[in-house]
Amino acid sequence: AISLGNHEFDFKPEGLARVLRAAVKKTNLPSLLLANVLFSREDPRDDGLEMAFRDGLVKPFTILDRQGIRIGIFGLMGKDAAEKAPFAAPVKFSDPLEAARRMVRQLREKERVDVVICLSHSSLREDRKLAAGVEGIDIIVGGHSHTRLEKPLKVNNTLIVQTGAYGRYIGALDLLRDGKYF
């Protein structure tokens, strides 16, 4: 799964919609996620992208089942990244903490997942704030700030990981439950 970030909007909403539609015709994409997108009701410049979201090309969350463990994953655009996405207009992004709380409720209470992972396109500072302010997120996989963490940070009961930028490093986080990897 991947979360959309500010650079996905560099070709404006209609450009992103065209890229998404072309990509699904050519390849089997991973789940594309973004839970805090807001479309304009008045401005038609984002209608094509809104339709791509409605068609399921980008979803707020996905659920994986690994050895009987249900893993809920959702994507967020942070405030810092949203401010660096001038071509996204008229698309806007809701408050990441509010969106995360909504997603945690959905995933924990309605979808009954065992693990919640947030794919955050935010700064490390925002990820720390997210972990401190939203109970129920197990792991935040962060991006945008290009921070390279040697080991996970722990804020409350949430692990935060980031691996830098431009594919220079690959991160791995092994998860154990009852002594078994999943």
Q: How far is CA 43 from each of CA 33, 38, 47, 64, 84, rounded to the nearest angstrom?
A: 23, 12, 8, 35, 21
Q: How far is CA 113 from each of CA 12, 17, 40, 84, 125, rounded to the nearest angstrom?
A: 34, 30, 32, 33, 27
Specify the range with the lowest mean pLDDT, choosing from 85-94, 121-130, 164-173.
164-173
pLDDT tier, 28 (very low <50, low <70, confident <90, very high otherwise): confident
| Residue 115: count of CB within 10 angstroms of its CB | 18
Give the pLDDT of residue 167.
Answer: 87
Q: What is the pTM of this model?
A: 0.95
The single residue listed with the structure tokens 């972990």 is 131
Q: Are strands 153-155 and 69-77 parallel, antiparallel or unpaired?
A: unpaired
- Per-residue pLDDT at 181 exceeds 80: no
- Per-residue pLDDT at 179 exceeds 80: no
Give the pLDDT of residue 58.
Answer: 98
Q: At what angle do helices 12-26 and 47-54 cross, to 10 degrees?
A: 40
- Per-residue pLDDT at 182 exceeds 90: no
